[in-house]
Amino acid sequence: MKKLLATVLALALCLSLPAGCSQPAQQTSQPSQSPRTSQAAAEEPYYVAIVAPFTGDNAMYGEFIYHGVMTKVNQVNEAGGINGRKIVVDQYDDKGDSTESATIAQKICDENKYLFVFSSFASGASISSGEVYRKNNMLHFVPTASHANCSVAGGTSWAMSLQADIEYYLLGKALVEDLSGKKIALIHLNADNGFIIRDAVVKGVEEAGGEVVISESYINGQVRDFTSILTKVKAADPDVVCMCVQYADTSAMLIQRAQIGFDDSVIWCVNNDNFVDTFLTSAGEAAEGVYCESIWSCFSSDEDIVKFRARYNDMWDGEEPSPYSVQPYEAMCMMVDALEQGIDTTQGLQDYMTELGYWDGETMAGEFGENQRLVRDRVYMHIVKDGVFEAVE
């Protein structure tokens, strides 16, 4: 977007809590302490690894991460590379499993050829693999996960997504200020991250002058019939129902709400995890009129975002860019910027990130906070009209 934004909201930084394939070659017993240094031959490519769920329930998000990285890599390689050197990206499938992600992380470090790595989609896998990367001094981008422990001050992990407590505090405020909600019903997962989300939404709602009249949770994967939860929600008489879970469950809730008989005046809102075309397909007509929060919007009129969206659409057969693709895209842009300056060692790139501070990127801008996470100061609202998302100005 190349327009310098004002310094990121101090409040957002203060909200941080304390402390979503190629086969590697033969491993060595101990990781080398030397390279991931400047490759010897000028014609040798720069190697990058992506670890994400490319199979299983979350494979869609792994593809988003891959598409985001490759949008920049393809642009660079098609222009001849960086000083004649191409970028080669290897994919590793962790299936979204934390143990598998950590095992792959060690293989990647032992391979001793990668300059940096993207890993993984969800917080659990990102945290477990991040510990391995830290011990091996490997530069690690967390492209989408939002848990506070995914990146810490002085570590080797850099997180691109808004931290959960910051994002959902901003969402809580938006439910009141943008959607005119006074009485909010909240549905979230019965899990650590779900409770972080609940507390942050409540804080944002209350600070904006609203009230959370009911908060219902459930264990992921154990509920398909949500009518009992929805009956309790209806009894609380909310004017806004906010569902902070993934698209399969929100779709089921929206379809099942017809059985409960909610008043037509009730506003329904889903979180950033649903800002994907799969939600629209899964929910069908039940998604019509539903609001969707996102930490980024491809529908911006900003000239750079318009150009990026067109390039992304063209490269990936009409697929719309999402936060899950844009965040790794911007991380790859940071690395290209460093490589073009001649910084081509893992330690040099880590120093580059440490000194970077504010990033004014093509599609997003923000400042890295003390826990090495890119902080922004707002969320975006969209509404589903005629089966597609539209920006709410």
Q: Tell me: pLDDT of 195 over 80.
A: yes
Burial class (CB in 10 A: 0-12, 13-18, 19+), 79: exposed
Q: What is the pTM of this model?
A: 0.79
- In this predicted structure, what is the pLDDT of residue 183? 98
pLDDT band at 92 (very low <50, low <70, confident <90, very high): very high
Q: What 3-state class would DSSP assign to 40?
A: coil
Amino acid in position 114: Y
**Strands in 168-251 per DSSP E:** 183-189, 211-218, 240-243
Evaluate the CA torsion angle 338, 343, 349, 351 in order and state its sign: negative
Average pLDDT over residues 201-219: 98
Q: pLDDT of 339-390, one tens digit each?
A: 999 999 999 999 999 999 999 999 999 999 999 999 998 899 999 999 999 9
Picking from 389, 365, 330, 321, the residue whose alpha carbon sits closest to that of residue 67 is 321
Query: Counting Cβ atoms within 10 Å, is residue 74 exposed (0-12), middle (13-18) or buried (19+)?
Result: middle
Dihedral sign (CA 359, 365, 367, 369): negative
Cα distance between residue 339 and residue 345, in whole Å? 9
Q: How confident is the model at residue 36 (pLDDT cuts 50, 70, 90)?
A: low
* CA-based end-to-end distance of the chain: 18
Which secondary-structure segment (H or E) carries 347?
A: helix 346-356
Quote the pLDDT of residue 42.
Answer: 63
User: Half-sphere exposure of residue 376, counting CA atoms within 13 Å on the CB side?
Assistant: 24
In whole angstroms, give the CA distance from residue 145 to residue 127. 9
pLDDT above 90 (res 124): yes
> Other C-beta atoms within 10 Å of 76: how many?
20
Domains annotated on the chain, with CATH = 17-161+301-372 (3.40.50.2300), 165-294+380-391 (3.40.50.2300)
Question: How would residue 8 be classed by pLDDT, with cut points 50, 70 and 90?
Answer: very low
Average pLDDT over residues 11-16: 40
Q: Give bridge partners of residue 359 from the DSSP assignment.
A: 366
DSSP structure class, residue 85: B
Distance CA 241, CA 33 (A): 53
> How far, rounded to the nearest angstrom, does the alpha carbon of residue 252 sit from its chain's CA centroid?
23
What is the per-residue pLDDT across 42-62, written as a single tens digit (0 to 9) for each?
679 999 999 999 999 899 999
